[in-house]
Amino acid sequence: MPASYAVRVESTLGRRFPEPSHPYRDDFVRDRDRIIHARAFRRLENKTQVFTQRLSDHFRTRLTHTIEVAQISRTIAAALHLNESLVETLALAHDIGHPPFGHSGERTLNLVMREHGSSFDHNLHALRIVESFEQRYASHPGLNLTFEVREGIIKHSHDYSAAEHPELAEYLLDQRPPLEAQLIDLTDEIAYNTSDLDDGFEAGLLALDSIRREVAIFDRYFAQIEREYTAVSAKLKFNEALKRMLNALVTDLIENTGRRVEAARVRTLEDIRRQPARLAAFSPLVDAERAQAKQFLFRNLYDSELLRPQKADGEKIVSDLFHYWIEQPSALPASYQRQMESEPAHRVICDYIAGMTDNYILDQHRKLLERTLTE
């Protein structure tokens, strides 16, 4: 039975363009299906999570990471008696605004946009995708998602100021998002903290000794595994310890969020929205261990010497193409040139680049810039 404070699909604030109800799918299930069938979702298959496919083709991509986040999110939503369909939809949509080359691509797009007095934010870009860029229906622009899904896309990871973002005023910026949305940033971190340890170890960038020495939650479970499975390989011990680490993070998030909801005497969705702080959270001890794992990954993986060349390449490619099209907008596809009649050139070019996969932007760079340099 759903919790009294869960989002109820029958109470949805609706779609921007009204549509008749579907005979056997509720509105949040329809939104989930629209995300899965969107072009932006398919593109996640060829967008970098941590490692580009030039390094290996069996590490996580944005798409496989997203599927893992959705699985973890549904598990937690079920345990907390929240709206599982809404949670799954938000998990599947949470990364569709990311540009090619992971965080280095996002950072570079933000830097070049600042040259024009603007910025790039993948959550805001995701909203533009579902509101405008996906053109699949004769009756309306975009995917015409429900208010609750659009709100969750914007508010799942942090709060926006109404003063700084008046264009987002309809999304109740003075209120907390529902628990269904609050969970997503936390499940995202559970997924990438564990999967990046996995991929980093598999790539030979993270040594088992250093992980055990610097990531307390992993070491605690690895020590258990060593006592229980003395004869298995180090890799299997690693896998077992990582599985238990993931389970511990999920369990703590479920139990601590439940305790916080009970302590706040929450009874309705409006009670969730009126809270002074978000209620979805890890316990203080586990949150410290989570932060320790994240800091370890930044020091030893994300900023590693081996990954710096691929990050530098990605940053250069994004910057090169942005400035090329700023100087030569006639080289853009005709549809983007037409958009410049109503939007600034830098925004149109940013949107174009942000939608690209790693493979496509590499191909564009070779065709437009590397060829130019040799002519």
73, 152, 179, 278, 332 from 182: Cα distances, Å:
11, 8, 5, 7, 39
Instruction: Tell me the torsion sign for CA atoms 314, 319, 325, 328.
Output: negative
Tell me the one-letter amino acid at 12: T
Closest CA relative to residue 304, chosen from 374, 227, 203: 203
Three-state DSSP state, 92: helix
The 10 Å Cβ neighbour count of residue 37 is 12
Mean pLDDT calculated for residue range 6-26: 95
Looking at residue 375, its pLDDT comes to 47
The 10 Å Cβ neighbour count of residue 223 is 13
How far apart, in whole angstroms, are the C-alpha atoms of residue 358 and residue 231? 42
- Give, for 237, the enclosing helix (H) or strand (E): helix 234-263
Looking at residue 61, its pLDDT comes to 87
pTM of the predicted protein model:
0.94
Lowest mean pLDDT among 6-10, 121-125, 306-310: 306-310
How far apart, in whole angstroms, are the C-alpha atoms of residue 78 and residue 61? 26
Query: Of residues 261 and 301, which shows the higher confidence score?
Result: 261
Looking at residue 218, its pLDDT comes to 98
Residue 114 near residue 319, CB atoms below 8 Å: no
Q: Provide the greatest CA pair distance for the chain.
A: 70
* Percent of the residues in the chain that have a pLDDT greater than 70, as a whole number: 96
The residues spanned by each domain of the chain are: 23-308
How far apart, in whole angstroms, are the C-alpha atoms of residue 180 and residue 342? 36
Closest CA relative to residue 73, chosen from 154, 150, 153, 188: 188
47: Cβ contacts below 8 Å, ≥ 6 apart = 61, 62, 63, 98, 99, 100, 101, 102, 357, 358
Residue 64 near residue 41, CB atoms below 8 Å: no
The answer, yes or no, to whether residue 252 has pLDDT greater than 50, is yes
pLDDT in tens, 261-295: 999 999 999 999 999 999 999 999 999 999 999 99
Mean pLDDT calculated for residue range 210-233: 95
How far apart, in whole angstroms, are the C-alpha atoms of residue 49 and residue 36? 18
Three-state DSSP state, 199: helix
Length of the chain: 375
The answer, yes or no, to whether residue 191 has pLDDT greater than 70, is yes
Neighbouring-strand partners of residue 61: 48
Torsion-angle region of residue 14: left (phi > 0), alpha (psi -120 to 50) or beta? left
Looking at residue 158, its pLDDT comes to 85
30, 148, 214 from 304: Cα distances, Å:
42, 39, 16
Three-state DSSP state, 146: strand
Does domain 23-308 bear CATH number 2.40.50.100? no
Residue 5 near residue 267, CB atoms below 8 Å: yes
